[in-house]
Copies of this chain bind each other. A is one copy, B any other.
Amino acid sequence: MERDRDGEPGGEGVRPSRRALLGWGGAGLALGAAAGGSAAALYPHEAPAHTDEAVEFHGAHQAGIATAVPDRLHFAAFDVTTKDRAELVALLRDWTRAAAALTRGDPVGEGATGGLPESPPDDTGEALGLPPARLTLTLGLGPSLFAKDRFGLHDRRPEALVDLPRFPGDNLDRARSGGDLCVQACADDPQVAVHAVRNLSRIAFGRAAIRWSQLGFGKTSSTTPSTQTPRNLFGFKDGTANIDGSDEAALRRHVWVPEADGPDWMVGGSYLVARRIRMHIETWDRTSLREQEDVFGRDKREGAAVGRRHEHESPSLRAMLPTAHVRLAHPDTNDGARMLRRGYSFTDGTDGLGRLDAGLFFLAYQRDVRRAFIPVQRRLARHDALNEYIQHVGSAVFAVPPGVRDHRDWWGRELLT
C-alpha cells in the first residue's frame, strides 16, 4: 500500500503509542491502517489517519529530514544562557531523553499527573490523550555556539557551517534570526508540536531560552513525491522536484554529510537553512494570471512547467523567461545543486498596515550550504521575478548532527565528548 511507504521513507520504523497508555486495544491498529489508505487515495495531499503513528526517533540520521513531512510545524531557535559546558551537555542529554519520549507519544518525565502533588508536573499535559501524530524533533547547532570563549567548540566548528552572506533584498529582523540551538518539531497535530517545543523549552529553563519561534500550518514541500504537491500561499505548486526521502542515492549526494567532508562528528548529519520569507499577498492578488504564471514559469492549475502539460514532465528551462522562478531555482541552472526542502506556510495575523503577515518559512537541508543554498540564493536574489512579491525577513543556519543511535546516545555527544 502506497501510504505505508510514504509513512516510512528511509525505512524508519513506525509504531503506535500513547493509545496503549489509555487502554485502547491493538485491534484498532489494522482499522487505522485501512483508514489511512482510503483517505490518502481520496486526497493525496492529506494523510489524516497518520496521526496514530509514531516516527522512530533513533537511527543513523535524525528524523524530520528525509522522513515524510506532516502538515504542521513549530520551529524554535534558542539562546544558550548558561556559560557552563557541563550544563550544556546536561541540557542536550535531558532534551534527548524527552524527545525520545515525546516522539513515541509519551509525556516527559513522570507525566502530567505523576510525581508528587506538591511539585509541578513534569509534563504540561495538553497532549495527554493525543496520538503521536508522527511527531519528529530535529536538533540543530548554530554558528554562535562555536564562538570563541564560550564552550571550547571553536576549533570544532565545521567549515561548512558558514555565516550566510547578506543577499540583495534581504531585510532581516535580528529578533527572528540566528540562534545557538534550534528544534524543528513537525507533526500532524499542531497541539502535539507546540506541546513538544514547550516542554523542551521548560526543560531548558536556566540553561537556554527561546530566541524566536515560528508556527507553520501547511507544508509547501513534500519528501513523498507520490503524494500531491502542496500549494504555497501564492496558490502555486512549488518544489515538484524536491528530493524524495526514500532516494538514498540523492540523499547521499545532496543531503547527508559524508566522511570525505567531515568533521567526524557531523558525518551522517546535514546543514539546515531557515528563512522567514514574507509574501506580499495583497500585491500578488492584484497581479494577472499570466504574470503570475510567467513569474513562476508554471501554469497555476496543473503546476506544469511552461510548454508542458503535466506537473511531473521535466521542464524546458529555455521556454521560460530568464527571470522565471522555476528556471532560476532548477538544478540545471545551478550546477546540479539540490536541497531537501521542508518549508511551511505561515500566517501571523495582520501587520500595522492591515496587511496579512504571511509567507513561507523556508527550511532546506543540504550537505554543504556553500554549494547549495548560497549559490542558488545569490542567483534568485539577483534575478528572480518573484522578488517583487517576497522579502526575506528572517534567517538562520544550523549544523544538524547525525541521529541519536540508541538509548545511551544523545544529541551532540560526538561533538561534546
Contact = CB atoms under 8 A, between A and B. Distances in A.
Given A120-B288, A212-B349, A35 B39 contact: yes
Given A38-B35, A300-B112, A281 B48 contact: no
A46 B51 contact: yes
A211 to B, nearest CB: 8
Interface in A44-73: 45-46, 48-49, 51-52, 71-72
A236 B123 CA distance: 12
A218 B191 contact: yes
A234 interface: yes
A293 B112 CA distance: 11
Contact of A301 (B112, B211, B234): B112
A97 interface: no
Given A43-B131, A356-B198, A217 B190 contact: yes
B128 A235 contact: yes
Contacts of A71: 189
B48 A39 contact: yes
Nearest to A32: B42
A19 interface: yes
B287 A120 contact: yes
Contacts of A301: 112-113, 128
A13 interface: no
Contact of A126 (B24, B48, B113, B232): B232
A36 B32 CA distance: 9
A71 B198 CA distance: 20
Contacts of A190: 217-218, 347
Interface in A18-38: 19, 24, 28, 31-32, 34-38
A74 interface: yes
B34 A42 contact: no
A130 B236 contact: no
Interface residues of A, number: 86
A331 interface: no
Nearest to A211: B354
Given A28-B38, A45-B129, A356-B198, A235 B112 contact: yes
A289 B115 contact: yes
A228 B22 CA distance: 12
A224 interface: no
Contacts of A48: 39, 46, 48-49, 51, 188
A166 interface: no
A417 interface: no
Given A39-B49, A125-B231, A231-B126, A202 B347 contact: no
A117 B217 contact: no
Contacts of A292: 121
A244 to B, nearest CB: 20
A32 B43 CA distance: 10
Contacts of A38: 28, 31-32, 34-35
A124 interface: yes
Given A120-B285, A124-B285, A28 B46 contact: no
A299 interface: yes
Given A117-B290, A300-B121, A350 B32 contact: no
Interface in A308-344: none
A52 B42 contact: yes
A34 B49 CA distance: 12
A41 interface: yes
B131 A215 contact: no
Per CB-CB distance, the 9 closest pairs between chain A and chain B, nearest first, are A125-B235, A48-B48, A31-B38, A35-B35, A117-B290, A190-B217, A191-B218, A113-B301, A28-B42
Given A39-B48, A129-B228, 12 more contacts: A32-B39, A34-B35, A43-B51, A46-B48, A71-B189, A72-B217, A117-B293, A119-B289, A126-B232, A128-B235, A190-B218, A211-B354
